[in-house]
């Protein structure tokens, strides 16, 4: 199934696409449905129930705040992080449903956490119930946040139709098929994706949008490099990006040459975005928010350093990077998962690493075999990566993990290019292996904060 570039890279508010963007969209869709089905005017009370992983890590991941945004009818792109929408609800116990109607809403009583219940369809479940003034239930809907901010209602997920398929000129479900299309059409992957996007959104929107997404990513890098302070949530983690930046600048002024300083730059850019994400800043899912630092870091590395080894201009190379990364994400979404709650962090930082490696290889002028090899190497060495965020916050191990993912992506590209793309393991088989591994992984390692580092690191 084809996933659009603009669906894969969507703008939202940190810290977690599954826990913030998805629930926000579900809440907004539920309110729209109340309207469509003629219940809206009768609503006196709303109740939200969080299940499984959403209940276990929802507080640390900002889920309640996101649900309030959605019930207020706000879209992620329109939210101003400076406005304390939720503080007002917390203080007054009044929620402005769809910004049209005030109802009583208590964050403590009307958002219920059922941590022990994992719904069978997906571990990120949430249920909405609306009641009239007599206490009669008006509309009950269950949604699932299935990764990268994508949602599916219960009836849709059981029928596996979480979305209407796009009508695109080039459909592909495996790298093998994508490669065959490229060879038959004599086009590279980015040209195939570009034509698909033009078919969905039109040429003007596509041309403007591809680099607009890139610039929003890089704005997060720039903000993160300069913003000092302690990350919210109680772990008292200091933001490190400004310190890394300062050291790099000082080394430059003092002519303090370090042959590995490019690694520090890649770390810096990944930390910048991951720290922005952890503090609820505006982020682009790539493919999720927890893993949103990898692609901005590796693309910045291309822009700043690696373009000298590319046959393309910087702008051309960046477009090729982003469109190729998008194609690789389609394969993971169609054949596996990008949800930490479903397959662990291999589906988040692992997929981001694979996308970035493919993007960078393509931008360097790599062949179809080299792109496949880079994407495959990147995932192969993330297989089994668990999701165990300490304190349910997208901070430890997530921030450093983004930096490690970015470094691994760069190395995967180098290995693929130096090996001329020769590989034994196909990308399709590593994607299947990632999904199989994720299904076999115990729930405590899948965004529940019940195992791994989350269980062994003291948080107070
Ligand atoms: S460990 Fe990975 S999957 Fe889990 S919250 Fe952190 S970044 Fe996301």
Each residue's pLDDT tens digit, 89-131: 889 999 999 999 999 999 999 999 999 999 998 889 999 999 9
Give the mean pLDDT of 311-336: 98
CA of 401 to the centre of ligand 1 (A): 8
* Ligand 1 atom 1 nearest Cα: 387
d(CA 340, ligand 1 centre) in Å: 6
Euclidean distance between CA atoms 139 and 40, whole angstroms: 10
The answer to whether 156 touches 162, Cβ cutoff 8 Å, is yes
pLDDT at 85: 79
User: Do 173 and 335 touch, CB atoms closer than 8 A?
Assistant: yes
Among 12-21, 250-259, 390-399, where is mean pLDDT lowest?
Answer: 12-21
Distance 382 CA to ligand 1 centre (A): 13
Q: What is the whole-number distance in angstroms between the Cα of residue 236 and the centre of ligand 1?
A: 18
Given a cut of 60, whether residue 162 has pLDDT beyond it is: no
- Whose CA is closest to 270, among 304, 303, 295, 245? 295
Given a contact cutoff of 8 angstroms between Cβ atoms, the answer to whether 325 and 380 are in contact is: no
Query: Is residue 233 scored above 90 in pLDDT?
Result: no
* Closest CA relative to residue 282, chosen from 48, 105, 75, 55: 75
Q: 331 CA distance to ligand 1 centroid (A)?
A: 20
Residue 411, classed as helix, strand or coil, is helix
Ligand 1 center–CA 170 separation, angstroms: 32
Q: State the Cα–Cα distance between residues 371 and 165, nearest whole angstrom.
A: 26
> Which atom of ligand 1 is closest in space to residue 345's alpha carbon?
3
CA 181 / ligand 1 centre spacing (Å): 34
Note the pTM of the prediction, 2 decimals: 0.88
Ligand 1 atom closest to the CA of 348, numbered from 1: 3
Ligand 1 geometric centre to CA of 61 (Å): 10
The alpha carbon of 348 and the centre of ligand 1 are apart by a number of angstroms equal to 7
Which of 345, 346, 444, 454, when mutated, tests ligand 1's pocket best, judged by the most ligand atoms within 8 Å of its CB?
A: 345
Alpha carbon 367 to its chain's center: 27
**Domain 16-158, CATH 3.30.1330.90 — does that match?**
yes
Residue 285: what are its φ and ψ, rounded to 5°? -65, 130
pLDDT at 81: 60
Span from the CA of 392 to the centroid of ligand 1 (angstroms): 10
Check: CB of residue 197 under 8 Å from CB of residue 260: no
What is the model's pLDDT at position 161? 55
The answer to whether residue 434 scores a pLDDT higher than 70 is: yes
Residue 166: exposure state from Cβ atoms within 10 A (0-12, 13-18, ≥19): middle
CA of 90 to the centre of ligand 1 (A): 28
Position in ligand 1 atom list of the atom nearest CA 402: 7
pLDDT value for 460:
62
Angstrom distance (rounded) from CA 321 to CA 277: 22
With the most atoms of ligand 1 within 8 angstroms of its CB, the residue from 62, 145, 290 to mutate is 290
pLDDT at residue 156 above 90? no
- The DSSP annotation for 281-334 comes to -EEE-SS-STTTTHHHHHHHHHHHTGGGG-SS-HHHHHHHHHHHHHHHHHHHHH
Closest CA to ligand 1's atom 3: 345
Ligand 1 atom at minimal distance to the Cα of residue 347: 3
Closest residue by CA, ligand 1 atom 8: 290
**Left (φ > 0), alpha (ψ -120 to 50) or beta: where does 420 sit?**
left
Closest C-alpha residue for ligand 1 atom 6: 398
Strands in 78-170 per DSSP E: 94-97, 101-104, 111-114, 125-131, 137-147, 150-153
**329 pLDDT exceeds 80?**
yes
The reported pLDDT for the residue numbered 149 is 85
Whether residue 203 has pLDDT greater than 90: yes
The residue whose CA is least distant from atom 4 of ligand 1 is 387
- With pLDDT > 90 as the criterion, what percentage of the chain qualifies? 81
Report phi then psi at 284, rounded to 5. -105, 130
Specify the long-range contacts of residues 151-158, CB closer than 8 Å, at least 24 apart: 151/22, 151/25, 151/26, 151/29, 152/122, 153/29, 154/121, 157/121, 157/122, 158/121
For the chain, the average pLDDT equals: 94
Q: How confident is the model at residue 261 (pLDDT cuts 50, 70, 90)?
A: very high
Q: How far is the CA of 83 from the centre of ligand 1 (A)?
A: 27
Distance CA 296, CA 135 (A): 49
Higher pLDDT, 82 or 186: 186
The model's pLDDT over 237-249, given as tens digits with 9 standing for 90+, comes to 999 999 999 999 9
Q: Where in the chain is the domain with CATH 3.30.1330.90?
A: 16-158
Pocket test for ligand 1, best of 58, 145, 291, 441 (most atoms within 8 A of CB): 291
State pLDDT tens for residues 354-391.
Answer: 999 999 999 999 999 999 999 999 999 999 999 999 99
Within 6 Å (CB) of ligand 1, which residues are found?
A: 290-291, 340, 345, 348-349, 387, 389, 394, 397-398, 401, 447
Pair 40, 15: CB distance under 8 Å? no
Read off the pLDDT of each residue in 68-95 and give the average, rounded to a whole number.
83
At residue 55 the predicted structure's pLDDT band, cuts being 50, 70 and 90, is very high
Burial of residue 80 (CB within 10 Å: 0-12, 13-18, 19+) is: exposed
For a ligand 1 pocket test, name from 387, 390, 445 the mutation site with the most ligand atoms within 8 angstroms of its C-beta: 387
Average pLDDT over residues 261-289: 95
The atom of ligand 1 lying closest to the CA of 61 is 5
Measured in Å, residue 289 CA sits from the centre of ligand 1 at 9
Are the CB atoms for 266 and 316 separated by under 8 Å?
no
């Amino acid at each position: 199934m084809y996933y659009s570039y603009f669906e894969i890279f969507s703008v939202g508010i940190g810290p977690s696409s599954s826990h913030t963007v998805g629930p926000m969209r579900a809440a907004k869709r539920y309110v729209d449905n109340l309207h469509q089905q003629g219940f809206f005017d009768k609503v006196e009370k709303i109740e939200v129930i969080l299940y499984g992983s959403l209940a276990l890590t929802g507080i640390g991941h900002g889920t309640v705040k996101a649900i309030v945004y959605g019930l207020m009818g706000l879209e992620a792109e329109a939210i101003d992080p400076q406005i304390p929408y939720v503080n007002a609800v917390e203080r007054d116990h009044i929620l402005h449903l769809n910004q049209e109607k005030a109802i009583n809403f208590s964050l403590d009583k009307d958002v219920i956490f059922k941590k022990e219940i994992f719904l069978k369809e997906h571990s990120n479940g949430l249920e909405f119930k609306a009641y009239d003034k007599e206490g009669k239930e008006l509309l009950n809907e269950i949604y699932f946040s299935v990764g990268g901010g994508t949602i599916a209602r219960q009836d849709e997920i059981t029928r596996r139709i979480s979305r209407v398929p796009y009508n695109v000129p080039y459909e592909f479900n495996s790298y093998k098929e994508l490669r065959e299309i490229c060879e038959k059409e004599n086009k590279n992957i980015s040209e195939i994706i570009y034509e698909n996007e033009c078919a969905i959104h039109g040429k003007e929107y596509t041309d403007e949008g591809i680099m607009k997404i890139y610039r929003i990513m890089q704005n997060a890098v720039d903000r993160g490099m300069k913003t000092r302070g302690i990350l919210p949530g109680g772990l008292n983690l200091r933001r490190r990006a400004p310190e890394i930046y300062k050291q790099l600048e000082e080394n430059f002024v003092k002519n303090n040459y370090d042959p590995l300083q490019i690694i520090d730059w890649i770390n810096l850019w990944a930390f910048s975005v991951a720290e922005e994400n952890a503090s609820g800043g505006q982020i682009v899912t790539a493919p999720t928010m927890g893993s949103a630092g990898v692609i901005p870091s590796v693309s910045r590395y291309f822009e700043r350093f690696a373009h000298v080894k590319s046959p393309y201009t910087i702008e051309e190379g960046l477009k090729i990077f982003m469109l190729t990364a998008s194609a690789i994400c389609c394969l993971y979404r169609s054949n596996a998962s990008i949800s930490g709650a479903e397959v662990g962090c291999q589906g988040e930082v692992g997929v981001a690493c694979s996308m970035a490696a493919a993007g960078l290889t393509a931008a360097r002028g790599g062949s179809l075999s080299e792109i496949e090899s880079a994407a495959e190497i990147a995932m192969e060495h993330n297989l089994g990566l668990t999701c165990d965020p300490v304190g349910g916050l997208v901070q430890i191990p997530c921030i450093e993990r983004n930096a490690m993912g970015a470094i691994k992506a760069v190395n995967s590209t180098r290995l693929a290019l130096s090996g001329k793309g020769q590989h034994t393991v196909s990308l399709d088989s590593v994607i299947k292996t990632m999904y199989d591994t994720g299904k076999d992984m115990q729930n405590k390692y899948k965004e529940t904060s019940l195992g791994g580092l989350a269980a062994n690191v003291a948080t107070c």
